[in-house]
Amino acid sequence: MALNTGAKDTGAKDTGAKAMLDRYYPSSLDSVDLAEGEILQAAERAGFDEDERHRIGMAVRECMVNAVVHGNRYNRNKQVHVNVSVDSSSPPCPRFFIRITDQGEGFEPDTVPDPLHDTNLLRHSGRGLFLMGAFTDAMTVRKVAPAGTEVTLVKNIEPQK
């Protein structure tokens, strides 16, 4: 797992990636369920087994909740953009990219307290970003213009054992 929360590129840029989903969702909790379901359908088409789909679902759910609740703050005039693609040209194996972008004010990932630190273990919240990284192979977070945060989650598509 690589937990990159800065602006480092995950390598998803136009290298022959095949689009699997591209959609805008309203800023509501219903969108969290809807996006999770549609992304998991794409993950199944990409060949992920049930355990991996569960992990993808966990990461996607946390990311969508962040986008709707903390990013767009349920604002009906703002949307969450979801783009899913598979890049088969990325060595050493094809990779599944999930890019989720809100229209919020953005945040600094480095300022989020470490949820594994002893003093933070009993905090009620603050685990979402950590779980997104824990359940994917790579993650980047970056601010986008004119306003918003783009999170890219990457899962390697390993050959089935």
Partner 1 sequence: MSVKLNTRQVGDVTVIDVSGRITLGEGSSVLRDALRELTAKGNKKILLNLGEVSYIDSSGIGELVSGFTTVSNQGGTLKLLSLTKRVKDLLQITKLYTVFDVHEDEAHAVRSFQ
Q: Which stretches of the chain bind partner 1, using CB under 8 A?
A: 29, 32, 54, 58, 61-62, 65, 69, 115-116, 121-125, 127-128, 130-131, 134
CB of 90 to partner 1, least distance (A): 26
Quick check: 20 and 83 in contact, CB under 8 A? Answer: no
Containing H/E element for 64? helix 50-65
What are the phi and psi torsion angles at 49 (to 5°)?
Answer: -80, 180
CB of 121 to partner 1, least distance (A): 6
* Cβ closest to partner 1, residue 17 vs residue 32: 32
d(CA 72, CA 69): 6
CB of 9 to partner 1, least distance (A): 26
* Cβ closest to partner 1, residue 11 vs residue 70: 70
Quick check: 161 and 106 in contact, CB under 8 A? Answer: no
